[in-house]
Amino acid sequence: MSTMFKKIKNIDTAFAYVRGFTMLIVLGSLLLNGLVLYMYYDLLGEMQDRIYVLSSGDVFQAHASSKNDNFPVEARAHIKRFHEYFFTLDPDDKAIAQTINKALYLADGSAKRQYDNLMESGFYASLIAGNINQTIQIDSIQILQQQGPIAFKCYARQQIIRSSSQTTRLLITKGALRQVSRSENNPHGFLVERWGIVQNKDLKTQIRK
């Protein structure tokens, strides 16, 4: 009888071990599943907070930042865009009107006065009549101060392309930037003001073959 009781006790002990081990496995599985679910929803939340931009078939993650975080880059990009719009001209009155209109969204009345002066002098009419197109390459942009009126100088080269020749010109302009609200027509949120041409002279002329 004592041997039987020992066997029963051993069986009860074995069942107790199995029960305890099973409970540990179940508890561990529940904890692991809970951790996986937590990590999944945490990652899902991060993914939903991110913005991705599709450009030329490639996907890039966009990072939110204030204008002050990237001030010099955005200021130079605005100045560059303004000059490219204002000085990139084709011998087509509608194309000229479109690019100048884009430029005037980025500047105050000082740019409009420069445009009016060129218009009155017959500059745009001569481009169209002579089938001349003009391009610009920005060499450097100096931000002279970042407090108060944001003064700048822009150094560039123009290419004046005629049917028989190509002229390279030095262009230096100066002005200031004022911060305004961003918009579709003004994505960087600056306005060029007190803008003027400091120097614009021929560097060389090449005969086109």
Check whether residue 21 and residue 104 sit in a common domain. Answer: no
Instruction: With a cut of 50, say whether residue 62 has pLDDT above it.
Output: yes
Check whether residue 4 and residue 88 sit in a common domain. Answer: no
What is the distance between the alpha carbons of residues 105 and 82, in angstroms, rounded to a whole number? 9
Rg (CA), the chain: 35
pLDDT band, residue 63 (cuts 50/70/90): low
Check whether residue 73 and residue 60 sit in a common domain. Answer: no
* Phi, psi (degrees; rounded to nearest 5) at 152: -150, 160
Instruction: With a cut of 70, say whether residue 55 has pLDDT above it.
Output: no
Q: Which of 42, 64, 86 is the last residue of a domain?
A: 64
User: Average pLDDT of the chain?
Assistant: 83
Tokens representing 143 are: 């931000």
Check whether residue 104 and residue 145 sit in a common domain. Answer: yes
Check whether residue 48 and residue 73 sit in a common domain. Answer: no
Instruction: With a cut of 80, say whether residue 56 has pLDDT above it.
Output: no
CA distances from residue 170 to 21, 141, 184, 192, 199 in whole angstroms, order as listed: 84, 14, 31, 21, 7
What is the distance between the alpha carbons of residues 29 and 49, in angstroms, rounded to a whole number? 30
What is the distance between the alpha carbons of residues 32 and 39, in angstroms, rounded to a whole number? 11
What is the distance between the alpha carbons of residues 130 and 127, in angstroms, rounded to a whole number? 5
Domain span at 6: 1-64
CB 136 within 8 A of CB 87: yes
pLDDT, tens digit, 9 for 90 and up, residues 22-37 = 777 877 788 887 777 7
**CATH code: domain of residue 202:** 3.10.450.230
Check whether residue 87 and residue 186 sit in a common domain. Answer: yes
CA distances from residue 133 to 8, 92, 103, 105 in whole angstroms, order as listed: 103, 9, 17, 22
For the chain, give percent helix, strand, coil, nearest 5.
50, 35, 20
Question: pTM of the prediction?
Answer: 0.68
Instruction: With a cut of 60, say whether residue 179 has pLDDT above it.
Output: yes
Q: Which is more confidently placed, 146 or 187?
A: 187
Can you say whether the dihedral through the CA atoms of 14, 19, 25, 31 is positive or negative?
A: negative
Check whether residue 123 and residue 146 sit in a common domain. Answer: yes
Check whether residue 78 and residue 15 sit in a common domain. Answer: no
Q: Which of 11, 44, 64 is the last residue of a domain?
A: 64
Residues 6+ apart with CB under 8 A from 197: 114, 171, 172, 173
Check whether residue 97 and residue 163 sit in a common domain. Answer: yes
pLDDT, tens digit, 9 for 90 and up, residues 83-109 = 999 999 999 999 999 999 999 999 999
